[in-house]
C-alpha cells in the first residue's frame, strides 16, 4: 500500500487528484486545528523541569535525525551538560516508558534508540507517550539537565525550548501533505523552528548544512577488525540497507569507490538470519542502524560502515545561547 501511494505521487493519476488530494486537504485542516489548539491552550502541553530540544522533520521517511541527535549529545557533553534522549521507539513494541541500553532488543525498543544508546553513552528512554518517557527518565536519572527528543516535532503535548528541523529536500518537491505527498506539516512550519539543518544540498539560505563522514568499516562479529574500501576491491560485495532512503547509503559507498550489488529494504526492517544467509557474497555491508538488528545472528562476512555527522558549530552556539537563558 505504501509503494502504491508513493507511486501515485509520481504518476499524478486520476486516483491522486480524486482521492489523495482531497484527503490531504482534510489532513491539512486537522493539522492546522491541532496546532492552533495547542498554541491556544485548548489542548494541554506539559513542560519538563529541564530544557527540551526536539530534533525532527516535517516529512515522512528518514532524513538523518538520529546522527544529528548523537552529534548533539556529544556537543552538549563537551560543554558540561548531562543530556538524555527520549524517543517513540518506532519499530519496537514497547508502549510503557522503557529504558534503553546497547544490549536492548530493537524489536522491543526500536532500532534507532539502541543505536543512540550505543553511540552516545547517555540515558535513553522510549515510550508511546514522550512526556511519560521523559518523566520516568528523570526519576531514574535526576542528574540529567537537558532532554533531547529524537523526532517528535509534531508531538506538541511536550513543550520544547529549541526545535531543530532536518530538511533533506523531500518536502521541497511538493506542497502536498499526507496522503498526497510526504509532508506531515506545511512547508511554512519551517519558518517557526529555531534551526534548520540541511541533509544534502543546502536549499534554505539560513540553514546549517550537515555532512555524513565515515570511511572505516568494522566487522560485526568482531569490532576490533577494521577495513577500508580498498580491502573489498577484489571481493564480491552486497550492500543492504533497511533505512528511510537506502540509496543515500549506497551512494556513500560508491563515493568511497566500492563496487557492489545493492538490496534495499523498508525502513526499520526486522532482519532475520535467513535474510543474510541467502545473500551469496564475500562481504555484506550494512548501516549501523541495521547492524543493531543483526548482532545476534551476524556471520563473519558482515561489515558495518559507521558515520559521523559534521555540522556548522554555529548550531551549537545557538543551542547553548538558548539553554543559557533557562
For the segment 252-269, what is each residue's pLDDT rounded down to a tens digit? 999 999 999 999 999 999
Instruction: Give the model's pLDDT for residue 170.
Output: 57
Q: Are residues 158 and 55 in the same domain?
A: yes
Residue 119 lies in a domain: no
Residue 3 lies in a domain: no
Assigned C-alpha cell, 244: 528511510
Instruction: Please check the confidence at residue 285 and state whether its pLDDT lies above 70.
Output: yes
Residues in the chain: 326
Gap between the Cα atoms of 158 and 44, Å rounded? 9
Instruction: Give the model's pLDDT for residue 17.
Output: 83
Instruction: Give the model's pLDDT for residue 31.
Output: 97
Coil, strand or helix at 279: coil
* Half-sphere exposure (Cβ direction) of 26: Cα atoms closer than 13 Å: 6
Computed over every residue of the chain, the mean pLDDT equals 93
Q: Are residues 189 and 300 in the same domain?
A: no
Q: Are residues 58 and 163 in the same domain?
A: yes
Assigned C-alpha cell, 40: 491556544
Banded model confidence at residue 166, pLDDT cuts 50, 70, 90:
very high
Instruction: Please check the confidence at residue 276 and state whether its pLDDT lies above 90.
Output: yes
Range of the structural domain that residue 238 is part of: 215-306
- Domains held by the chain: number: 2
Gap between the Cα atoms of 273 and 286, Å rounded? 14
**Residue with the larger pLDDT of the pair 90 and 34:** 34
Gap between the Cα atoms of 172 and 190, Å rounded? 11
Q: Are residues 219 and 315 in the same domain?
A: no
Residue 30 lies in a domain: no
Gap between the Cα atoms of 38 and 159, Å rounded? 10
Banded model confidence at residue 97, pLDDT cuts 50, 70, 90:
very high
Q: Are residues 168 and 155 in the same domain?
A: yes
Average pLDDT over residues 3-22: 80
Instruction: Give the model's pLDDT for residue 200.
Output: 77
Average pLDDT over residues 215-234: 97
Q: Are 190 and 168 in contact (CB under 8 A)?
A: no
Q: Are 320 and 214 in contact (CB under 8 A)?
A: no
Instruction: Give the model's pLDDT for residue 174.
Output: 67
Q: Are residues 55 and 186 in the same domain?
A: yes
- Residue percentage of the chain with pLDDT more than 90: 83
Banded model confidence at residue 64, pLDDT cuts 50, 70, 90:
confident
Q: Are 53 and 160 in contact (CB under 8 A)?
A: yes
Q: In this structure, how many other beta carbons lie within 10 angstroms of the beta carbon of residue 180? A: 24
DSSP string, 130-156: HHHHHHHHHHH-TT--EEEEES-TT-T
Cβ within 8 Å of residue 234, ≥6 positions away: none
Bridge partners of 151, per DSSP, are: none
Residue 128 lies in a domain: no
Q: Is the peptide bond before 179 cis (omega within 30 degrees of 0)?
A: yes
Average pLDDT over residues 289-298: 96
Instruction: Give the model's pLDDT for residue 12.
Output: 82
Q: Are residues 220 and 292 in the same domain?
A: yes
Q: Are residues 177 and 197 in the same domain?
A: yes
Residue in 211, 149, 175 with CA at minimum distance from that of residue 58: 175
Q: Are residues 158 and 293 in the same domain?
A: no
Q: Cell 512547508 identifies what position?
A: 187
- Residue percentage of the chain with pLDDT more than 70: 96
Q: Are residues 219 and 301 in the same domain?
A: yes
Residue 139 lies in a domain: no
Q: Are residues 47 and 62 in the same domain?
A: yes
Q: What is the Cα 235 distance to its own chain's centre?
A: 31
Amino acid at each position: 500500500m505504501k509503494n502504491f501511494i508513493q507511486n501515485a505521487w509520481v504518476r499524478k493519476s486520476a486516483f491522486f487528484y480524486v482521492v489523495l488530494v482531497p484527503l490531504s486537504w482534510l489532513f491539512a485542516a486537522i493539522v492546522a486545528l491541532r496546532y492552533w489548539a495547542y498554541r491556544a491552550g485548548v489542548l494541554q502541553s506539559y513542560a519538563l523541569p529541564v530544557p527540551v530540544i526536539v530534533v525532527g522533520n516535517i516529512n515522512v521517511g528518514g532524513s538523518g535525525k538520529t546522527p544529528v541527535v548523537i552529534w548533539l549529545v556529544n556537543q552538549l557533553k563537551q560543554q558540561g551538560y548531562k543530556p538524555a534522549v527520549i524517543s517513540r521507539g518506532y519499530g519496537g513494541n514497547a508502549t510503557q516508558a522503557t529504558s534503553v541500553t546497547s544490549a536492548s532488543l530493537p524489536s522491543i525498543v526500536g532500532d534507532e534508540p539502541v543505536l543512540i544508546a550505543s553511540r552516545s553513552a547517555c540515558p535513553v528512554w522510549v515510550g508511546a507517550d514522550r512526556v511519560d518517557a521523559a518523566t520516568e527518565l528523570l526519576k531514574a536519572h535526576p542528574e540529567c539537565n537537558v532532554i533531547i527528543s529524537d523526532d517528535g516535532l509534531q508531538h506538541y503535548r511536550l513543550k520544547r525550548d529549541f526545535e531543530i528541523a532536518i530538511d533533506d529536500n523531500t518536502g521541497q518537491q511538493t506542497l502536498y501533505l499526507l496522503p498526497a505527498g510526504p509532508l506531515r506539516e506545511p512547508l511554512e512550519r519551517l519558518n517557526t523552528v529555531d534551526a534548520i539543518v540541511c541533509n544534502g544540498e543546502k536549499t534554505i539560505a539560513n540553514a546549517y548544512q550537515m555532512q555524513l563522514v565515515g570511511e572505516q568499516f568494522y566487522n560485526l562479529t568482531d569490532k576490533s577488525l577494521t577495513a577500508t574500501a580498498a580491502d573489498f576491491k577484489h571481493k564480491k560485495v552486497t550492500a543492504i540497507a533497511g533505512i528511510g532512503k537506502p540509496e543515500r547509503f549506497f551512494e556513500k559507498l560508491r563515493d568511497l569507490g566500492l563496487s557492489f550489488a545493492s538490496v534495499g529494504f523498508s525502513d526499520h526492517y526486522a532482519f532475520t538470519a535467513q535474510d543474510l544467509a541467502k545473500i551469496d557474497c564475500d562481504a555484506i555491508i550494512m548501516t549501523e542502524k541495521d547492524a543493531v538488528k543483526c548482532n545476534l545472528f551476524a556471520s563473519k562476512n558482515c561489515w558495518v560502515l559507521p558515520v559521523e555527522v559534521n555540522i556548522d558549530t554555529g548550531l551549537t552556539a545557538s543551542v547553548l545561547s538558548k539553554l543559557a537563558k533557562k
